[in-house]
Structure formats: C-alpha cells, structure tokens
C-alpha cells in the first residue's frame, strides 16, 4: 500500500495531502480470505476524475493487481471516494463511491482525516457513528506510508 501511495504522490499532477492510519479489517463481500489493510488518502490533483482513476488503475497494474473475482484477494485496490463536491455516474466511475457509507473500513479512515466532509447531507463522522468498527484494528499511524 505504501508503494501505491508513493506512486500517486510521485505523479506530477497529484500530491498527497494527508493519509489516515493504516487499519487491518476483516474482508468484505467474500469473507473466506485473509484480512485486508485499509487507509484513506486526501490528494490534490489537476487531473480530472477519469484521469485520476486512470492513474490509480495504472498504479494497481504496476503492483500486479489481478481482477480474478469480485471482492476476492488482491495486491492493491484503489478507489476514488469523493472528488470535491462532484457527483458522477459514468462507466466504471461513480463519485461519491456508491457503497462507501455502508463500509466501516472506508468511513473510519475517512472520518479520521476529514471528519467534517459532507456526504449525502451528513458529515463523515456522523455516518461513522452508525457503523460497527469493533473488528477494525489500527496497525500504524503517522507517516507509515513514507
């Protein structure tokens, strides 16, 4: 994951502003696999949402991401959760991410770095209050990705 963040940060059009702690979480969707590691990063970019997605997909490919099965094991998975106040529904790109509000492993790190960001009329922190975070374990904090 640190390699993925470093690759995004090295892009001339994208700068990582802050990164959440790193969390170990139970797998979601397909549960008969090892735990996942999750984090959320805030970036500033001059890229469009589609161009940012293309960058993320290129980084995933460079890190040998194989899309063998939905929600299955993977070396890396990068998603665009939010992009300013935009709402997009394009082939392969939905912003805000359509399932983020149901996923504690997304909302916990997001609320850590952007507690007041508004999503569907409520803050990230408020959305997090309605999710079970008991199985999520912090693994590293600070500049763990550098």
Q: What pLDDT sits at residue 32?
A: 86
List the end-to-end C-alpha distance of the chain, in Å, as a whole number.
Answer: 10
Instruction: List, for residues 80-130, the tens digit of each pLDDT value.
Output: 999 999 999 999 999 999 999 999 999 999 999 999 999 999 999 999 999
Contact between residue 121 and residue 28 where contact means Cβ atoms under 8 Å apart: no
79 is catalytic: yes
Burial class (CB in 10 A: 0-12, 13-18, 19+), 4: buried
Active-site residue, from 77, 85, 102, 103 = 77
Active-site residue, from 24, 50, 65, 103 = 65
74 is catalytic: yes
Active-site residue, from 24, 35, 50, 79 = 79
Q: Identify which of 102, 89, 101, 62 has the alpha carbon closest to the alpha carbon of residue 78.
A: 62
Q: Is the peptide bond before 96 cis (omega within 30 degrees of 0)?
A: yes
Instruction: List, for residues 29-82, the tens digit of each pLDDT value.
Output: 888 888 999 999 999 999 999 999 999 999 998 998 776 677 666 778 899 999
Q: Identify which of 5, 9, 22 has the alpha carbon closest to the alpha carbon of residue 112.
A: 22
Query: Distance between CA 94 and CA 114 in Å, rounded?
Result: 20
126 is catalytic: no
Give pTM, 2 decimals. 0.93
Contact between residue 114 and residue 42 where contact means Cβ atoms under 8 Å apart: yes
70 is catalytic: no
The tokens 């139970």 sit on which residue? 26
Q: What pLDDT sits at residue 65?
A: 74
């Amino acid at each position: 994951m640190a390699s993925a963040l470093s690759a995004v940060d090295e892009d001339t059009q994208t700068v990582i502003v802050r990164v959440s702690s790193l969390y170990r979480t139970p797998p979601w969707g397909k549960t008969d696999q090892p735990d996942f590691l999750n984090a959320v990063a805030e970036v500033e970019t001059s890229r469009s949402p589609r161009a940012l997605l293309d960058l993320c997909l290129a980084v995933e490919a460079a890190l040998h991401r194989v899309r063998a099965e939905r929600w299955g094991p993977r070396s890396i998975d990068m998603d665009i959760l939010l992009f300013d106040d935009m709402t997009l529904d394009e082939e392969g790109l939905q912003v805000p991410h359509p399932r983020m509000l149901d996923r504690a492993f997304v909302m916990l790190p997001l609320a850590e770095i952007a507690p007041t960001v508004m999503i569907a009329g409520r803050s990230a922190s408020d959305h997090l209050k309605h999710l079970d975070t008991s199985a999520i374990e912090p693994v590293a904090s600070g500049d763990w990705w550098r």
